[in-house]
Structure 1
């Protein structure tokens, strides 16, 4: 019995010594919430659409700026999707629109819409769309690791569950990166 007490006391002393020897910074520190992310849009199978986007946290939502190249002229559905999974060559593994609140699909200014409903982007006659959108009330840290999808057709903002925007022509994962130019995000 005496040896059990000595063993317990010795182990307690060792645990206390190891605990005290740990640097104060070894616990989980507060991590800065990301203020900026990037998306490199890649073409899906049989597409040539690509681009670069920068997402920045603002007081009233997430600002999405950038350029998409290789589109047919006109409007194209533009959404944040639930997964950052690019395994499917047609972009289907990105899942549906990011919709954590279980709302119906709609335009970005509608009373009810998915958090990932960003509306349409418009390509000019050269097939290029300049993007400058505000995803109101969205927080950047909720979409890191998810994806942005560009569709082949316009989002009609009514058809459920996704606006009948046609095939996915480009997809990219929202991720952290060092942005070289704070004004343009490296978008030339």
Structure 2
């Protein structure tokens, strides 16, 4: 009789422990992206070659894939413009060379049409209206806010550059998109 009581008690303890919810996992940099769509967006200003504020860019993790960038700007030349993520979060007018090269952590060539490409920071051309304004959301599927080699936020930060001309989606290093005419920087201090 004692043996069967002990067997029943062991079975009850086993069943109770098996039915309990699994322990909650600590949030790591890799798991950050799962929760990120619910967080507040990171917003920074676009400045032009004169250092004047001409708009903003709002960055948030996409609920589907990568990042969604809400770009709003005015005072730009109408037509298509190359738009890229650059490797350093510093925007010093007038030429924005402080933003560095394209964000390219996997060392690929430039351009969506390049068979060897493309950079993580390559994005579709922006189409500025006849009134010099743009208000559009751009998805960047291969970049994360934090975690992994394609993370936007690290010790260097990143910059978003609008170029004077359209990106041809092929030529190295920047698709013949011309000079840098607007810049918006994201730094690690902006992420809480």
Task: From 48, 51, 55, give the equivalent of 2:55.
Answer: 51
Aligned pair 1:153/2:157, yes or no?
A: no
Cα 1:160–1:166 change in 2 (3 A) is: same
More strand by percentage: 1
Aligned to 1:143: 152
- Cα displacement string for residues 89-147 of structure 1 (whole angstroms, at most 9, x for unaligned residues): 31011011100000111139987310000121001110011221110121012213211
For structure 2, list consecutive stretches of 5 or more residues without a partner in the other structure. 1-25
Aligned to 1:20: none
Question: Number of residue pairs matched?
Answer: 149
Q: RMSD across aligned C-alpha pairs, in angstroms?
A: 2.6
Task: From 109, 115, 120, give the equivalent of 1:115.
Answer: 120
* Structure 1 residues 153-172: aligned runs within 5 Å: 153-172=165-184
TM-score scaled by length of structure 1: 0.70
Q: How far apart are 1:69 and its partner, in Å?
A: 1.0
Aligned pair 1:104/2:113, yes or no?
A: no
For structure 1, list consecutive stretches of 5 or more residues without a partner in the other structure. 1-28, 179-188
* Structure 1 residues 1-188: aligned runs within 5 Å: 33=32, 35=36, 36-45=41-50, 50-58=54-62, 59-87=64-92, 89-107=94-112, 112-141=117-146, 142-144=151-153, 145-175=157-187, 176=190
